[in-house]
């Protein structure tokens, strides 16, 4: 498969380059970055020295590569991909979009939360939300994948079995999520400078975080009714990782053993979900495509607490994109994704 990456110098983009460079069925044909045109990739990320020496091209040079390209990954901020992706789709190329432009099925919801007019809303219905544990069949025949956000990936996977079987009150879901600073991207931002983010913990974008409607959309589809979500994101002083703690009121008493059995059955055919009695930690999923999940039942309040951990740059972005590519292209879904977390 010949592939191109647009936005190859962001944190998620460079993680994707690393995965594709080691993927046995992929050749990286072009890398796009308007900031580094004609510079070698290894000049920007020196860990790729003697591995990826390809020079960046500008976005206006991509047309020259389209006739021989099989799949394009677009890893640029929301609001930009919707202007360039339609051209690739019309050329018959498969696309995996890291951004939010095609995640929400409702044009009005997108425009409300992102404060942008959607430039290509006619592709919203055709786009498949790229969470393989929920949409594998649709992904296998899709041309356009909307790669999920990092927070929604962990949050949706935590609650999905409960929503599918309608075991919880759909108005009671609270998600407390904590992310490493790489989730904010590589661009200069005062809030993520070392002196600002180190040795402190803070909540941000309460009530207004743009991943909220994405989570609500997918959980509502599973529940087959409207689900409301109270989402509280936090920034923690670590490079990568997301830990979510999700709370919901059970519709009737269930034992922990019963819920663990249900989760095991729900994810039994999905190789990157690990259900464990031990509470997850971000270090056990770092640099992997795994999502670790555990739960507890508080019998005094009849509430369930579900905890999950992912690597925001991997399962929350790049490795999930490769997972989607594998399914789209008919490869074994685990191909090129055998990484084990490294310590310390």
Q: Which two tokens stand for residue 301?
A: 């309040």
CATH of domain 2-147+317-328: 3.40.50.720
pLDDT in tens, 214-268: 999 999 999 999 999 999 999 999 999 999 999 999 999 999 999 999 999 999 9
Q: Which two tokens stand for residue 67?
A: 């006739």
**Confidence at residue 183, expressed as pLDDT on a 0 to 100 scale:** 85
CA-based nearest residue to 313, from 6, 1, 19, 71: 19
**Confidence at residue 56, expressed as pLDDT on a 0 to 100 scale:** 96
**Confidence at residue 148, expressed as pLDDT on a 0 to 100 scale:** 98
Distances (CA, A) of 55 to 32, 70, 71: 9, 20, 19
The C-alpha torsion from 241 through 222 and 98 to 64, rounded to 10°, is: 150
**Confidence at residue 184, expressed as pLDDT on a 0 to 100 scale:** 81
Q: Which residues pair with 307 in a beta bridge?
A: 245, 294
Q: Which two tokens stand for residue 218?
A: 């997918």
**Confidence at residue 40, expressed as pLDDT on a 0 to 100 scale:** 95
Q: What is the DSSP code (8-state) at residue 99?
A: S
DSSP E strands: which ranges in the chain?
2-6, 27-32, 71-74, 94-97, 128-129, 144-146, 173-179, 202-203, 229-235, 242-249, 273-275, 291-298, 303-310
Fold category of 150-310 in CATH: Dihydrodipicolinate Reductase; domain 2 (3.30.360)
pLDDT in tens, 75-92: 999 999 999 999 999 999
CA-based nearest residue to 341, from 282, 294, 299: 282
**Confidence at residue 92, expressed as pLDDT on a 0 to 100 scale:** 97
Q: Which two tokens stand for residue 138?
A: 């649709």
What phi and psi values does residue 296 have, to the nearest 5 degrees?
-140, 150
Beta-sheet strand order (sheet of 71-74): 27-32, 2-6, 71-74, 94-97, 144-146, 128-129
Q: Which residues pair with 175 in a beta bridge?
A: 231, 246
Residues 4/69, Cβ–Cβ less than 8 Å: yes
Q: Which residues form the catalytic set?
A: 150
Digit-by-digit pLDDT tens for the chain (344 residues) are 999 999 999 999 999 999 999 999 999 999 999 889 999 999 999 999 999 989 999 999 999 999 999 999 999 999 999 999 999 999 999 999 999 999 999 999 999 999 999 999 999 999 999 999 999 999 999 999 999 999 999 999 999 999 999 999 999 999 999 999 988 887 778 888 888 889 999 999 999 999 999 999 999 999 999 999 999 999 999 999 999 999 999 999 999 999 999 999 999 999 999 999 999 999 999 999 999 999 999 999 999 999 999 999 999 999 999 999 999 999 999 999 999 998 88
pTM value is 0.96
Please write down the HEC assignment for all residues of 152-180: HHHHHHHHHHHHHCCCECCCCEEEEEEEC
Q: At what angle do helices 150-164 and 212-223 cross, to 10 degrees?
A: 20
Domain boundaries, the chain: 2-147+317-328, 150-310
């Amino acid at each position: 498969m010949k592939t191109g990456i647009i936005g190859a110098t962001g944190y998620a983009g460079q993680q994707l380059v690393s995965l594709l460079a080691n993927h046995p069925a992929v050749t990286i044909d072009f890398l796009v970055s308007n900031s580094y045109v004609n510079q070698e990739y290894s000049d920007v990320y020196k860990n790729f020295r003697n591995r990826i020496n390809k020079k960046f091209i500008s976005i206006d040079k991509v047309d020259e590569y389209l006739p021989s390209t099989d799949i394009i990954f677009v890893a640029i901020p929301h609001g930009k991909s919707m202007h360039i992706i339609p051209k690739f789709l019309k050329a018959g190329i498969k696309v995996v979009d890291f951004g939010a432009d095609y995640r929400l099925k409702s044009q009005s919801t997108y425009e409300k939360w992102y404060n942008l007019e959607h430039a290509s809303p006619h592709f919203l219905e055709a786009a498949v939300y790229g969470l393989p544990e929920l949409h594998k069949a649709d992904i296998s025949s899709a041309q356009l994948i909307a790669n999920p956000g990092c927070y929604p990936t962990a949050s949706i996977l935590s609650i999905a079995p409960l929503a599918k079987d309608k075991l919880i009150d759909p108005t009671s879901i609270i998600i407390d999520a904590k992310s490493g600073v790489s989730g904010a991207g590589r661009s200069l931002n005062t809030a993520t400078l070392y002196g600002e983010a180190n040795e402190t913990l803070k909540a941000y974008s309460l009530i207004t975080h743009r991943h909220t409607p994405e989570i609500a959309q997918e959980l509502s589809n599973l529940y087959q009714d409207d689900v409301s979500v109270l989402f509280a994101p936090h920034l923690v002083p670590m490079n990568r990782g997301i830990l979510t703690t999700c709370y919901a009121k059970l519709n009737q008493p269930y034992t922990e053993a019963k819920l663990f059995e249900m989760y095991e059955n729900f994810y039994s055919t999905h190789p990157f979900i690990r259900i464990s009695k031990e509470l997850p930690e971000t270090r056990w999923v770092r640099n992997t495509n795994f999502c670790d999940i555990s739960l507890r039942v508080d019998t005094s309040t009849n509430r369930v607490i579900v905890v999950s951990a992912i690597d925001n740059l991997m399962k929350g972005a790049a490795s999930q994109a490769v997972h989607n590519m594998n399914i789209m292209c008919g490869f074994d879904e685990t191909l090129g994704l055998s990484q084990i977390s490294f310590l310390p």
